[in-house]
Chains A and B, each alone.
Chain A
Amino acid sequence: MNIVVAIKHVPSTADELEINDEGVNLDFDEVDFTINEFDEQAIEQAVLVKEASGGEVTVIGVDVIEELDGVLHTALAKGADKAAKIVGDLEPPIDSHTQARWLADAIGGLTPDLVLTGVQAVDDLDGQIGPMLAAYLDLPYVGVVTGLSVSDGTATVHKEYAGGVMAEFEVNLPAVVGVQAAEKPPRYAPISKIRQMAKSADLEEYEADENVGDSGCEIRKMAKPVSAGHAEMLEGDAEEVAEKIIEILEERGLL
């Protein structure tokens, strides 16, 4: 069983985000990058499948700001067997279409039985890479998956709908699955193990093909959504305040 996990290195939204001088994206010099949180779930699910059904897990991502090594070492410490990165003269933002194209080129050569990826990421403006990988690799795709087991060339997946309803599908392998949540919370990688990986692990490198087109989804303006700051304080006695709250809720269609 050859499992590949495609990951994204994305701006950390824990930070206060600043907009660049052109006003069309983030000031990427002023933001830390982190692994997409759903990709952490995908890695955990991959390791769980490996533990249940055997196989090998390869984690691969585009090295957008040349700081992906730590993320890959962490994945190895959590139980991945191999890690690879797509490198080149890269600079953020790199849209999902481009990342998916590069990833598909690399993953195609790995002849995977199962490709896992996070169901979405915070910078997916032009769409999620999971369904794109499936389209480029011509493989079936199911996303928003919270349960996955594999037997005899078939994956059984649980896909989450609203309100706690789930659908079960059987998917022929190879396939791409977009993971919403692993069956267990992502395990902890002790730093000493990560540091050991940093010393010993070989990361495979793939050269990014600069000739692939972009997504055709150019941002002409980026701004912080209105709101934020201090709450607007409602004046008056309890009766008046209650009335105002109900009014506001009704206006917003919340009552």
Chain B
Amino acid sequence: MDAGLDKVDAIWEKETAIIDGIDISGPWNRMFEQRVIWEYTPELIDKVADLPGAESFSWCYQCAACVPVCPVDMVGDYGPRKLYRKAQTGTDLQSADDLWLCTTCMNCVRVCKKVVDMVQIMPAVREQAVLDGFVPEELQKAFEDTAKYGNPLGQSQRKRAAWTKKSDAPVPIIKDVKRPVDVLWYVGSYPSYHPRGIDAALAAARIFHALDIDYAILGREEKDDGDSQRLAGENGLFEMLAEHNISVFEKYEWEQMVVTGPHEYNAFKKEYAKLGFERPIQHYTQFLSDHLDRLSPLLTHEVQAKVTFHDPCYLGRHHGEYDAPRALLNAIPGLELVEMGRCRENGYCCGGGGGGMWLDSFTQNHTTMRLSERRVLEAAAYGADILAVCCPFEVSRFEDAAKSTGNDQLRVLDILELLDMSMRGEI
């Protein structure tokens, strides 16, 4: 027997231990001794921390500040601290179901004293899992569809601009414009294909047109940004899409880019920048709030409703933008904005980030309710008529959640749709 184990045995149990006159002899009295940290194996922690990007995993000192802010723990048994503890006690994160539950919402990183960065750790470990052939089936389908069709919805790449046919406002395609434009609008996959996403895209087109913005879209040349696929572990797919998109972005002349979705905003601003693409980019809420002086006079119809706003993780916590969406909502006459308890820096997560969008059934098996359902219950508790969003992942998620939780009275609308309503008076 080696010395280490001798030592463990020696302090495992005191046959006689009397503390302050109380006899506490027995196996459980170890709590009055030094913690026996060497009976845990560091191998599985190192296995994670040795991956490039995942180094901070080993910095965790188990303070558990991350657990109460973790949106997944709120509907299940998760939390970044627990991952470290499970790795100590024999769980290999790379093959554990836990690996796929994190939505990379970043709320844990916000409160972590040791800056254990799950937003870096998760994609690093997931990439290994993907390379080793361990991918939940739903997610695999989204990867395959993205690789094959350029979007995770599995729709034809040729139809990426088909939604523009429904638009009453002109939607110029940059290839046809044949001149430099002020604004390149990157529409995104869900606004291009999902019926509720298209509603927001059509509203955006009307608003841009009403503001007389000189803009164009990429049409068929646009492909998914790939960032959520990267966060879900498919870095090769991300690189492929990024190379494609950057080459298309650079093919045309434009002054600034406006994106519909916060995930695309994150992709271009943070990740594409690492690949050398550094151009002015704004989320549409930022762009429109910069044009509020011209937009406000167009908002002529009252929207009489109690509205609450869900901060998208990738606009709020990831990029610190909390004010632009609120500025737009406050510009709508008649609209009463009420804040939910979990808002701004502590905003709850819809569950769609980091690949969660394509892990619905998988996550469902590990949680008591969907994150989107938890959020809708909160919105309903604040008496909101409308849950306003500005991320294309969210509309369908929250609409489904409103129905499944019996909150059919709660409407879910993109801020674009609300602005459009106020502009046109159609509600």
| Chain B binds chain A | yes
Chain A positions within 8 Å of B, measured between CB atoms, are 12, 14-16, 30, 32, 34, 185, 187-188, 190-195
- Of the candidates B130, B158, B235, B240, the one whose C-beta lies within 8 Å of that of A32 is B158
Query: In the complex, are the beta carbons of B158 and A30 less than 8 A apart?
Result: yes
0/1 interface trace, chain B 112-150, chain A, CB 8 Å (1 if under): 000000000000000000110101010010011001110
Q: CB distance B135 to A188 under 8 Å?
A: yes
Closest-by-CB residue of A relative to B243 is A195
In the complex the two chains form, is B149's CB within 8 Å of A191's CB? no
CA distance A194 to B158 in the complex (A): 24
Contact string, B227-248, partner A, CB cutoff 8 A, digits 1/0?
Answer: 0000000111101100000000
Residue B95 interfacial (CB < 8 Å) = no
The reply to whether B148 and A34 contact each other, CB–CB distance below 8 Å, is yes
Complex: how many Å from CA A30 to CA B140? Answer: 27
Contact B149 A187 (CB under 8 A): no
**Distance in Å: Cβ of B201 to nearest Cβ of chain A:** 19
Of chain B, the residue at the smallest CB distance from A194 is: B236
Chain B residues whose C-beta falls within 8 Å of the C-beta of A30 in the assembled complex: 158
* CB-CB nearest 9 A-B residue pairs: A192-B236, A191-B236, A191-B237, A15-B156, A188-B140, A188-B135, A190-B130, A190-B131, A191-B240
Min distance, Cβ B74 to any Cβ of chain A, angstroms: 31
Which residue among A12, A14, A30, A194 has the maximum number of chain B CB atoms within 10 Å of its CB?
A14
Whether B86 is near chain A, meaning CB under 8 Å from some CB there, is no
SS class, residues of chain B in contact with chain A: helix
Using a CB–CB cutoff of 8 Å, the interface residues on chain B facing chain A are 130-131, 133, 135, 137, 140, 143-144, 147-149, 154-159, 234-237, 239-240
Chain A hits for B133, CB < 8 A = 187-188
Contacts A14-B149, A14-B154 given: A191-B239 contact, CB under 8 Å? Answer: yes
Q: Which residues of B contact A15 (CB under 8 A)?
A: 156, 158-159
| Distance in angstroms between the alpha carbons of A239 and B351 in the assembled complex | 43
Q: Please determine whether B147 and A14 come into contact, CB atoms closer than 8 angstroms.
A: no
Kindly state the separation between the CA atoms of A185 and B140 in the bound complex, as whole angstroms. Answer: 11
A192 to B235, Cβ gap below 8 A? Answer: yes
Cβ of A187: which chain B residues have Cβ within 8 Å of it? 133
**Residues in B whose Cβ lies below 8 Å from that of A14:** 149, 154-156
Q: Which residue of A lies closest to B162 (CB)?
A: A16
* A47 shortest CB reach to chain B, Å: 11
Q: Closest Cβ of chain B: how far from A163's Cβ, in Å? A: 26
Output the nearest chain A residue to B237 by Cβ-Cβ distance: A191
A187 to B235, CA, bound (A): 17
